[in-house]
Structure 1
Amino acid sequence: MVSIRRRTKCIDSIKQEDGTVVSEQSDISNAIYGFFEQKWMVQGIIEDGWPSLKSQKNYLAQFAGVLDGEVTKDEIWAVVRSLGRNKAPGGDGITASFFKYF
């Protein structure tokens, strides 16, 4: 089922900025890449109001012990239990219900 879903959720063709339609996968990839390359090249980065790197390091240092600590079995089960049933399965198609049951 996953392979069927994957085949149906692909881009068969795309219209480029000049109006031509391409259907080869390499041409589609190049068109998409070129679009985003152009989109992000035009915009500059505005750094006003961003926290300094030093302040970010100080902030993250507060959580270093928690982030570097071991993950417990209870923490994993708490997350699994909080997942919605049959919601947003991963690429393998296994839903949260499977993990809750087994």
Structure 2
Amino acid sequence: MIQYFVRRVIQKHKTMILDEAVRINGFMKLLMKPRNTGTGWTKMEKEQIRKHLKRLSLYVPVLIIFLAPFGSLLIPVLAEILDRRKNKRATA
């Protein structure tokens, strides 16, 4: 239920989120790390992602959901939606 809501909201604001996200140096690479390499984020990387999302939420308020308690569980959904590749990689 929550995942469906998050997908719908992110999809609605995808262009605006991508425009702001690419301006943050290294954010998209860090966000896509599990999708590109198959390895998860380290604790330090998760903190960096949360810091970047906090900054992004100033411009795109819908991202505030990822800063709420347990919001980090939804970050893979964000990565999946923002993936700009034409041919999606098979997830492991």
Q: Which has the higher contact order (CA 8 A, sep 6+)?
A: 2
Return the TM-score normalized by structure 1.
0.22
TM-score (norm 2): 0.24
Structure having the higher Rg? 1
Structure with greater proportional helix content:
2
